[in-house]
Structure 1
């Protein structure tokens, strides 16, 4: 039976991506074999989906079909995490597809990979 083994991000600078995602999510480098040629980051305590960082020269998509959604409990936490990740090297994305009352913020990691911070406590207007 198939299962998701890892989410793979193509990156131009693997060491920089390792530092960013370790700081962003508290993940650690997986030292044992995992398969493939990527650097694997695993969540603390081992629960959750690993992230594989693979060297890639292709530029990231401006409107990717697949991206990461990172969840927070409320608007204050969303603002705090957005500011923290920007301080770590993420960039705010001038997203042209926001709805009128968004529950998400679009950011890009230092390699330009888009991801969202979702406010799970958002109450639509």
Structure 2
């Protein structure tokens, strides 16, 4: 049997990425500290999917095959909060008129979506 252990993302600056995602998701370092080359973040409160950040110099994909979908009950407020934490809005060319998502990039350029859960 298999279970999902962690979602892994690359980062040129693992510490900077870790600070962003800890603030964004309320996660903490699994091993008590953030390492420069590799760190695993876990929910501070209870179970959930871990987020691992590994040192990478690979360029960010404009249309990544894999990304995070974050569900929000107040999408506009969450987008603004994430932008204040260092995320950037992405000029996404694949939006449809009735899209329920906003595409952002973290401090490392990794794309993720904030989905309107309402």
Alignment TM-score, normalising by the size of structure 2: 0.92
| Separation in 1, partners of 2:64, 2:70 | 16
Query: Any idea what SS the aligned residue of 2:45 has?
Result: helix
Match runs of 1:63-78 below 5 Å = 63-73=63-73, 77-78=74-75
Deviations 1:73-114 (A, max 9, x none): 2xxx11111111111110000000001111000000010000
Task: Tell me the equivalent position of 1:114.
Answer: 111
Query: Any idea what SS the aligned residue of 1:98 has?
Result: coil
| Separation in 2, partners of 1:22, 1:120 | 22
Deviations 1:47-85 (A, max 9, x none): 110000000000111000110000012xxx111111111
CA RMSD of aligned residues (A): 1.2
| Separation in 1, partners of 2:87, 2:45 | 25
Task: Tell me the equivalent position of 1:88.
Answer: 85
| Separation in 2, partners of 1:40, 1:58 | 19
Structure with greater Cα Rg: 1
Q: Could you list the structure 1 runs, at least 4 aligned residues long, displaced by more than 2 angstroms after superposition.
A: none
**Number of aligned pairs?**
114
Query: Any idea what SS the aligned residue of 2:95 has?
Result: coil
Alignment TM-score, normalising by the size of structure 1: 0.87
